[in-house]
Amino acid sequence: MELKRVVVTGMGMITAVGNDIPTCWANLVAGHSGAGPVTHFDVTNFKTKFACEVKNYDFSTLFDRKELRRYDRYALLAIAASDEAIKNAQLTITPEQAHRYGVIYGSGMGGLHTLNDGIAEFTTGDGTPRFSPFFITRVISNIAPGILAIRYGCKGINFSTASACASSSHAIANAFHYIRLGMADVMITGGSEAVIEFSAVGGFNAIHALSTRNDDPKTASRPFSGSRDGFVLGEGAATLVLEEYEHAIARGATIYAELVGAGMTSDAYHITASDPEGKGAAQAMQLAIQEAGITPQDIDYINTHGTSTHVGDISEVKAIKQVFGEHAYNINLTSSKSMTGHLLGSTGAVEAVISILSMQHQMVTPTINHEDGDNDPEIDYNLNFTFNKPQSRNIHYAMSNNYGFGGHNACLIFKKLQNF
């Protein structure tokens, strides 16, 4: 069977550095951090008091206030990003085509805000259950793709992925393969996360995963630097419209990139820590390269997982050097999380969009907050981490890596099409 080609024809994004793609891109290139004091709950007694929150988005532009009550924040973020992507793709779905259009969307933790509120209300009350009739549908993580399918009229493949910080990369990879196999013409895919909540911050603090640099939040996320002390929690969503190449050409769609490879593996090592030698991550990259039909030397850019955690950053560098050898020194590496924070289940989709924008603009966004001499003896600084300033770069192939608790590894490779 001849495999289909898959292209990206629409994108949308909402993060702490912007509520749409143009704003996000401008702030990323400028090296602006989205970190600031937490406003979603009282952090007085918490070790970490800051995060990368989405700011000043008016969700009433999506629905009337009565309808808004039906959805958790993570679902609203998914809708915001997806509306931008659908508009960007100039996509119209007719009833005759609907069964060939699907949605696969990722979230690591789903409606945590609703879960927290519902339990808190019950446990502080008189024991009488007074849960909202929307409680269950606001909490479950598969409701986002369900809502998106209803909103746009997609009657094809529809499900969610949950693999911690690899969730949305897995969603994109699955959507890619369904189109490759001829089972869909268009897939709306990506991920959303909204867990700047007391339970998430408290839980991540308990395992010493979050930065506690409360005196200067904007410099707290410092991937690959010696003084890094954990990640900065973020929130947001990103959506890609994936489309079979001939289908896109037939409708005159703008093509932003071609998705050519996806690799997925498991460390089978530890529930939270990555394999210290990066073996699973390396294998995911190798599988993606193999599916793309290219060599490691073809990769120009890697949007690293780069969370600013001690073990994770070291193991990822080891994995990259295993796969690319001497060519690793020719690649621009970058960590968007230094600015957006770590968006957990939606981080893969956000970074996929950033990778495509980098190809489109031939510009690598910086890994901010590195200071001269702030080096980790276990990291090779002859590699180009694109520290602090953006760099112009001719990017033909871009790779995006994401790894999640549980040992989940995912890698995506995008190709720039010369005629678009």
Catalytic residue among 24, 154, 165, 411: 165
Instruction: Out of 342, 370, 408, 411, pick the active-site residue.
Output: 342
**Burial degree of 388 (CB within 10 A; 0-12, 13-18, 19+):** middle
Cβ neighbors of 61 (< 8 A, separation 6 or more) are none
List, as one string, the DSSP characters of 87-102.
Answer: HHHT----TTTGGGEE
Helix runs in 153-244, H state only: 167-180, 198-206
Phi-psi region of 127 (alpha: psi -120 to 50; beta: other; left: phi over 0): left
> What is d(CA 53, CA 335) in angstroms, rounded to the nearest whole number?
18
Annotated catalytic residue 305 = yes
Strand duo 186-193 + 101-106: pairing: parallel
Q: Cα(175)–Cα(186) distance, rounded to whole angstroms?
A: 9
Question: Could you tell me the CA-to-CA distances from 323 to 4, 267, 284, 368 in Å, in that order?
Answer: 27, 16, 10, 25
Query: Which residue in 247, 305, 370, 408 is the catalytic one?
Result: 305
165 is catalytic: yes
Question: To which residue do tokens 């193991």 refer?
Answer: 315
Query: Which residues belong to the active site?
Result: 165, 305, 342
